[in-house]
A and B are shown apart, each in its own frame.
Chain A
Amino acid sequence: MIRPLSTGYRDDTDARARKILIWVIAFSIVASALHRSSAVITARAWLIAPLQPLLTFSGTFRSGLVESLENKRVLGKMETADGAKLSVALSEVDALRKELDQLKRTAGLPLSTSTTGTVAAIIAEISTPFQKSLTFNKGTMDGIRRGAIVLSADGVVGRIVEAGPKSSKARTILDPAFRVAAEIDDHAGFVLFGAGASGPGTAKIDFVPRDIFIRPGARVVTGKEGTLFPAGLLLGHVKSVAPGEGVFADVTVEPAVSAASLRYVWIATTK
């Protein structure tokens, strides 16, 4: 057997490394395959508890970093603190809801049910080409449940995929696994998905026929066909339209919300 000379070849260590690797791969395969089972979801939500101090520290650090970048105007577009913007947006939503209820009362229609929510701080963000997720400092103890929508003053941020007692995680609209029914201006029936690995910072839209005229800059909102999000929430704006290879056009969307500049979000809660 030829042994390399460089850095101390040891059979016992290598055999141990191989054994560990086999176990890790086996565990990864089983954990990946079973990740949708409720037991794994619960276990995972509880596993985050030992990492809570790191997350809290990371949240404070991240918040300070965003604030300092904001102050230096490095991030450009941000005008005021997210928290202040959110309260303005929430009061606007409240006023609109009252107006809508007034109109419905006049027309004799059933009144809308009120949506409750909570403002949560972002304590961690994972942003790799294949995963875009946010972790918040509030969880099931605050009424957050799996599937809840996450909004900011500018539009849709994402959807909760996991809720632990004191923290929760959301996929952002840039995550490759994110899907939502979408409308572009007056055209309906599309699906927006996070491009993730297909392009940095953009999402894409599927099922847009090539013969429909879509102008760059058009508003993209959540569609009526979807069951996860209420219709009409701003997702982003069309960045570019290319003919595409098949029957559908290749539409790229710039999200309305940049997670990198966010500190707080609004999450729908259930009582």
Chain B
Amino acid sequence: MIRIPLLIVLAVFASLTIEPLLGPFLPAVPMIPLIAVVLVAAVGGPLQGVLAGSFAGLCLDILGADAVGINLGSMAVLGFSVGSIIRLLPPWPFVVRVTVSGALIFLYFPMTIVFSRLSGASLAFDVSTLIHFSMANLFCAMLGAIFIRQRA
């Protein structure tokens, strides 16, 4: 039971230290806590997904400069959705199911915009950034699923 919070804390730690340093070298840097939430939800279902998403989102919101609630709400919804959708899929290989349900990552960005608007901030973004960011995260989630499959 302690493994999931520990994984999320590690993901947040990696997000604070490694992610920004990769920025100058990559066109889109994946968000490690987001990938962790998708994988936890894919393995554990909606309950673990929503809990992992809430915890990761809250940590990021507290550590970040934006309003509390932006990552919290978005990641909780993502964790719940991935955990729910993956069980509705046919018995395809795990990696394929993670990739299909992980496509919900594309909703993460618009959700953060909704919560940002509630906080009064207007967020400018373009579609190519949204696609690059989501694709980078989806690709990493897929690699994570392969890793999990091999370990299982």
Q: Which residues of A contact B (CB under 8 A)?
A: 4-9, 13-14, 16-18, 20-21, 24-25, 27-33, 35-36, 40, 44, 47-48, 51, 54-55, 57-58, 61-62, 65-66, 69, 75, 124-131, 133, 135, 161-162, 169-171, 175-177, 193, 195-201, 258-260
Cβ of B83 to closest chain A Cβ, rounded Å: 7
CB distance from A162 to the nearest CB of B (A): 6
Contacts of A9 in B (CB 8 A): 87
Which B residues touch A4, using CB under 8 A? 87-89
Question: A69, B45: Cβ atoms under 8 Å?
Answer: no
Is B140 an interface residue, CB under 8 A from the partner? Answer: no
Give A51 Cβ to nearest chain B Cβ, in Å. Answer: 6
A166 to chain B, nearest CB (A): 14
User: Complex: how many Å from CA A130 to CA B31?
Assistant: 12
- Whether B125 contacts A129 by the Cβ 8 Å rule is yes
17 A-B contact pairs sorted by A residue (CB < 8 Å): A7-B86, A16-B47, A18-B80, A20-B51, A21-B46, A25-B77, A29-B73, A29-B118, A31-B67, A32-B116, A33-B118, A35-B66, A124-B63, A130-B125, A169-B63, A196-B123, A198-B129
The answer to whether the Cβ of B107 comes within 8 Å of any Cβ in the partner chain is no
- The reply to whether B17 and A200 form a contact with Cβ atoms under 8 Å apart is no
Asked if A51 contacts B59 (CB within 8 A), the reply is: yes
- A32-B115, A133-B64 are contacts. A196–B69 as well, Cβ < 8 Å? no
Given A27-B72, A35-B68, 9 more pairs with CB closer than 8 A: A24-B72, A25-B77, A32-B115, A32-B116, A32-B119, A35-B66, A36-B120, A65-B21, A162-B65
Given A17-B80, A51-B59, decide whether A126 and B64 contact each other with a Cβ distance below 8 A. Answer: yes
Asked if B47 and A161 make an inter-chain contact with CB atoms under 8 angstroms apart, the answer reads: no
- Inter-subunit contact B124/A65 (CB<8 Å): no
Count A-B pairs with CB separation below 8 Å.
198
Q: 0/1 per residue, B75-115, Cβ < 8 Å to A? A: 01100100110111101000000000000000001001101
When the two chains form their complex, are residues B64 and A169 in contact, meaning their CB atoms are under 8 A apart? Answer: yes
Residues of A contacting B91 in the complex (Cβ-Cβ under 8 angstroms): 5-6
Tell me whether A130 and B116 are in contact (CB under 8 A): yes
A197 touching B20 in the complex, CB below 8 Å, given contacts A33-B118, A44-B62, A131-B66: no
Residue contact B21 to A13, C-beta cutoff 8 Å:
no
Asked whether any CB of chain A lies closer than 8 Å to the CB of B133, the reply is: yes
Given A28-B76, A32-B67, are A125 and B126 neighbors across the interface (CB < 8 Å)?
no
Pick the 7 closest A-B CB pairs, nearest first.
Answer: A28-B73, A197-B125, A35-B67, A133-B65, A28-B69, A31-B69, A32-B69
List residues of chain B with CB within 8 A of the CB of A170.
65
**Alpha-carbon separation in the docked complex, A161 to B13 (Å):** 22
Query: Cβ of B51 and Cβ of A200 under 8 Å apart?
Result: no
Known: A21-B80, A24-B73, A129-B109. A198 touches B125 (CB 8 A): yes
Chain A CB within 10 Å, residue with most, of B18, B29, B68, B86: B68
